[in-house]
């Protein structure tokens, strides 16, 4: 069976070379005679693998020494709750920038933390999230301000972060982690579920400024960032295979020239599709151009039946998982790091043919 072009938003396509490498090493990891799924997380094999993955990530993002890198579980969704639980114990007040589904989910989960005031400090809900919030309304103390750098469903992405007057920024980078260059120093905490742009589900990364860890209260071990940090993310059995896969992806990105090279390639891929959409008489992307994501590109014909037909026809040609999220409908192409320019060219060609056949007015 040939591999297809997989435009899924997540779990998403992996670099071909990474899948091949995992296949080649599957029966015997580093000549151990065991797969990586079968080795002890207290073995040197594991420790070496995990610390290499951490070092590669540090190199890729130029993570300064005053940041801890944690390899956790539970996905971004668990972080939505554990972050305010751990890091909102001084002002007992946090601000959320609402730019779409995932930032709303983060805010909702924060409300489960008792004694915490959760405030929305900006929202583009009135614009149906077709643009970002660039100006926030702040007054007084907040433990942190939360933001989603790339809105996976709505297709918007921050290039420049909003001004927060020195407040701590906590950011969900799940869907453009390692696909867009950011300066780690601009953040108190960065977190991401890996299955979008940096590996497979089961691995969640958190990059935490060390001084923030000092104020973490005493919490159950699995929910405590400071206890996880003290045990180098191996407080209990870590998701060994998922960490291994992320490690392979990190090495692959290094070979491609790093995050800046990824960003450049992502911009070129996205531009191909946006140029097509903007000149199309059938399809359109609703997002304000300055805020458009390079990672997730939603588009519609304006006719739900035609959208569905388009997804169906695309599938027949090996262009998979183009159905849009149910909240926005239409189609969505996710062009993460691992999506090749060939894949985007094939998509644009197909959409052009579909348009000819189905009434570009």
Ligand X SMILES: *Cc1c(COP(=O)(O)O)cnc(C)c1O
Q: Which residues are catalytic?
A: 102, 172, 196
- 10 Å Cβ neighbour count for 314? 23
Q: Which lies closer to ligand X via its Cβ, residue 47 or residue 73?
A: 73
Shortest approach of ligand X to residue 345 CB, angstroms?
A: 25
β 204-209/93-98 pair status:
unpaired
Shortest approach of ligand X to residue 105 CB, angstroms?
A: 7
Q: Which lies closer to ligand X via its Cβ, residue 149 or residue 301?
A: 149
Separation between Cα atoms, residue 85 and residue 216, nearest integer Å: 8
Q: Which lies closer to ligand X via its Cβ, residue 122 or residue 350?
A: 122
Chain residues binding ligand X by CB under 6 A are 10, 75-77, 102, 148, 152, 172, 174-175, 193, 196
Cis-peptide into 11, omega within 30 deg: yes
Q: Which lies closer to ligand X via its Cβ, residue 93 or residue 325?
A: 325
Shortest approach of ligand X to residue 74 CB, angstroms?
A: 7
Shortest approach of ligand X to residue 80 CB, angstroms?
A: 8
Q: Select from 227, 235, 181 the least CA-distant residue to 208.
A: 227
Is the separation of the CB atoms in 9 and 175 below 8 Å?
yes
Instruction: Give the contacts of 202 (CB within 8 A, at least 6 positions apart).
Output: 73, 194, 195, 239, 241, 242
Helix residue spans in 25-171 (DSSP H): 44-61, 75-87, 101-110
């Amino acid at each position: 069976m040939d591999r297809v072009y997989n435009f899924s938003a997540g779990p998403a396509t992996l670099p071909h070379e990474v899948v091949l490498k995992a296949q080649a090493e599957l029966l015997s990891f580093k000549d151990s005679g065991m797969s990586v799924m079968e080795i002890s997380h207290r073995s040197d094999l594991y420790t070496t693998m995990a610390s290499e993955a951490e070092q590669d990530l540090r190199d890729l993002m130029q993570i300064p020494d005053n940041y801890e890198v944690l390899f956790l579980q539970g996905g971004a969704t668990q972080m939505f709750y554990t972050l305010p639980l751990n890091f909102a114990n001084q002002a007992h007040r946090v601000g959320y920038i609402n730019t779409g589904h995932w930032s709303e989910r983060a805010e909702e989960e924060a409300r489960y933390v008792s004694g915490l005031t959760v405030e929305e400090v900006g929202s583009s809900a009135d614009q149906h999230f077709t643009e970002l919030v660039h100006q926030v309304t702040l007054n007084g103390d907040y433990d942190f301000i939360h933001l989603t750098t790339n809105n996976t469903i709505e297709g918007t992405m921050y290039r420049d972060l909003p001004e927060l007057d020195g407040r701590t920024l906590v950011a969900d980078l799940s869907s453009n982690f390692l696909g867009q260059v950011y300066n780690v120093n601009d953040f108190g905490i960065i977190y991401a579920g890996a299955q979008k742009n940096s590996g497979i589900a089961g691995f969640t990364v958190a990059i935490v400024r060390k001084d923030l860890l000092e104020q973490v209260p005493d919490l159950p071990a699995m929910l405590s960032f400071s206890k996880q940090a003290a045990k180098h993310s191996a407080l209990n059995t870590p998701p060994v295979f998922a960490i291994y896969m992320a490690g392979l992806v990190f090495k692959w990105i290094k070979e491609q020239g790093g995050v800046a090279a990824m960003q450049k390639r992502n911009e070129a891929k996205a531009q191909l599709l946006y140029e097509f959409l903007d000149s199309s008489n059938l399809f359109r992307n609703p997002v304000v151009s300055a805020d458009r994501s390079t990672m997730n590109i939603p588009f519609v014909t304006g006719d739900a039946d035609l959208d569905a037909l388009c997804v169906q026809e695309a599938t027949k040609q090996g262009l998979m998982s183009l159905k849009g999220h149910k909240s926005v409908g239409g189609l969505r192409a996710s062009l993460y790091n691992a999506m090749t320019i060939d894949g985007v060219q094939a998509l644009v060609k197909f959409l052009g043919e579909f348009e000819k056949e189905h009434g570009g007015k």
